[in-house]
Amino acid sequence: MLIDELQSQFAKLQHDIRNGPIYPNVTASEIREHLARYYDFTHPLQLDDVLADVTEMLRNWNVQITHPRYFGLFNPSVTLASVTADVLVAMHNPQLASWRTAPAANEIERHTLAWLAGKFGLPRNTFATFTSGGAESNHSAVIVALTRAFPDYGENGLRSIDCRPTIYLSSQAHDSFMKIAHMSGLGRRSIRIVATDEQLRMDLADLEAQIAEDRRHGFSPLMVVGTCGSTTAGVIDPLPELGAFCADNNLWFHVDAAWGGAAILSPVLRDCLAGIDCADSVTCDAHKWLSVPMACGMFFCRHQEAVASAFRAHAAYMPNQSGAETFDPYTHSVQWSRRFIGLKLFMSIAQHGASGYADIIDRQAHMGDLLRQSLSSSGWTIVNSTPLPLVCFTRDGLDIPAFLSAVRERQIAWVSEAHINGRPVVRACVTSYRTTERDVLWVVDEMNRLVTSEAHDRDTTNAAMTPGTTEAASHLPVFQSH
Ligand SMILES: Cc1ncc(COP(=O)(O)O)c(C=O)c1O
């Protein structure tokens, strides 16, 4: 059975990754030489040999983002159900451009998205589609908002609009909005950076002032982006206040919950997302905190008619669906030919259930709290404030590039440099359901050793030391394959 074979491969890979390095040690020329030597494509090769070689390349020449000590950029460890789904999808290769070519796939996606829309508290008739990720979802939001606000935009472009639309977000918002402003024709200067409070949350007074000022100068404020779980520091903007403000001021309220949106499934964290139900549109990526492989983004929008108008298309060669109950994805989204993105989320939720997901999200939040507390009690300064498992920290006199290079060299954890209020800090985000308390405590211990004098004398052969697997096994999370 496919599932048996996958299950044993998956368990072996998880075991090997846990006990191996996180960071690769390779140069581009080494990889290029290898590829040039073995793959000139002149003669066919045995698939088994290619598979063995590619497997080695992936194991040795990549950062292992499914490692339990990968504390990185929202890339998760993936569930077995989601991996199985991706294999099935590749084998069947259904075409999601139209409804009629893939009724089962379309309805599975619809069912999954409607369930999540309900969790967000969005109305029953909310439009939703799977996307390639957060950037595409954010892009969709801007295009739909423009289409709704300026009916002439679709036919005659931005030049037909006699005012300049502007978008408001904080410095914490995702940088995809800069590219989106560029690609949409709004221009990067249409982005307004709103000030933040001491917790890096968008400052409503500054938002109000900037909008008033822009209106006085002939601009046309279009959209406010509230971030729910910012990339650098996990900040959640004041969503209820932003929602109310947008409603009063006739502005599109987009919530970028690419990472933080998953917390809606946690009874403990859900309240932190209050206000998301007021959004005109929401971005949420299952390939971030819902533990499925890339690419699996989602775009929710309460204005179905504006979505249909923004992405309308008709091609005589397409098997168009005219039924009132269904729609063709290519006429309601950026993509045309499209992979069956949603199956991995459907199968993963089906296997683990809402309660399984709640457990795993709460567990990661607990690991974040533990990381925060352990760092703080051993003299580190925590510089961000969030209920989500993302910790930014530093300490007096820390040479961050040198520290990070030692962390990397000793394979302690994947952590990165971030900047908060212009100050460099270390950023660590618990993104794996496989991370154990023991991992977290070991990482903090090792980092402490690096910054004490003892670290200088330390034998670097200890670099391969890992926190071991015995206790980790006794804390197996619900997604762990047994
Ligand atoms: C808050 C936020 N929004 C949007 C994105 C873009 O998502 P993607 O990389 O899936 O396109 C990211 C990526 O990390 C993000 O953190």
DSSP 65-79: TTSTTB--SSPPP--
The predicted structure's pLDDT at residue 182 = 98
Across the range 254-269, mean pLDDT stands at 98
- For the CA of 138, the closest atom of ligand 1 is 4
Compute CA distances 479 → 237, 349, 351, 352, 364, whole Å: 30, 11, 9, 8, 12
> Cα of 258 to ligand 1 centre, how many Å?
6
Instruction: Give strand pairing partners of 254.
Output: 225, 281
Q: What percent of the chain has pLDDT over 90?
A: 89
Most informative mutation of 65, 255, 288, 294 for ligand 1 (most atoms within 8 A of CB) = 288
Q: Average pLDDT for residues 401-413, to the nearest whole number?
A: 97
Lowest mean pLDDT among 23-37, 284-298, 324-338: 324-338
133 Cα to the center of ligand 1, angstroms: 7
CATH number listed for the domain at residues 1-23+63-79+353-482:
3.90.1150.170
CA distance 89 to 296: 13
Q: What is the pLDDT of residue 321?
A: 67
Mean pLDDT of 221-234: 98
Ligand 1 pocket test, candidate residues 73, 132, 176, most atoms within 8 A of CB: 176
Residue 138 one-letter amino acid: N
Question: What is the Å distance from ligand 1's center to 40 Cα?
Answer: 36
Closest alpha carbon to 175 in 135, 144, 233, 234: 135
Q: Is 298 left (phi over 0), alpha (psi -120 to 50) or beta?
A: beta
Q: 273-282, 309-318, 416-425: which has the minimum mean pLDDT?
A: 309-318
| Alpha helix stretches (DSSP H) within 262-412 | 286-289, 304-310, 343-377, 400-409
Cα→Cα distances 469→41, 433, 475, Å: 42, 15, 10
Q: How high is the pLDDT of residue 220?
A: 97
**Does the beta carbon of 285 lie inside 6 Å of ligand 1?**
yes
Cβ atoms 279, 122 nearer than 8 A? yes
Q: Indicate the range of 37-41, 104-108, 325-329 predicted with least confidence.
A: 325-329
Q: What is the pLDDT of residue 315?
A: 87
pLDDT at 2: 76
Judged against a pLDDT cut of 90, whether residue 369 lies above it is answered with yes
Return the percentage of the chain with pLDDT > 70, whole number: 93
Q: Residue 254: is its pLDDT beyond 90?
A: yes
What is the Cα–Cα distance from 167 to 185, expressed in whole angstroms? 13
Q: Does domain 94-341 match CATH 3.40.640.10? A: yes
pLDDT band of residue 457 (cuts 50, 70, 90) is low
256 Cβ below 6 A of ligand 1: yes
pLDDT of residue 447: 98
What is the predicted pLDDT for the residue at 478? 41
Is 261 touching ligand 1 by the criterion CB < 6 Å? no
Region 398-415: what's the mean pLDDT?
Answer: 97
Split at pLDDT 50, 70, 90, the class of 118 is very high
| Pocket mutation for ligand 1, best pick of 65, 136, 200, 259 (most atoms within 8 Å of C-beta) | 259
Domain spans of the chain, in order of start: 1-23+63-79+353-482, 94-341
What's the pLDDT at 320?
A: 73
Average pLDDT of the residues in 15-20 = 96
In this prediction, residue 325 carries a pLDDT of 83
Burial code (b: 16+ CB inside 10 Å, e: under 16) for 216-231 equals: eeebebbbbbbbbbbb
Mean pLDDT of the chain: 93
**Chain-centre distance for alpha carbon 122:** 20
Please work out whether the CB of residue 177 comes within 6 Å of at least one atom of ligand 1.
no
Any atom of ligand 1 within 6 Å of the Cβ of 231: yes
The verdict on the CB of residue 135 being under 6 Å from ligand 1 is yes
What is the per-residue pLDDT across 181-218, written as a single tens digit (0 to 9) for each?
A: 999 999 999 999 999 999 999 999 999 999 999 999 99
Q: Using a 6 Å cutoff on CB, does residue 368 contact ligand 1? A: no
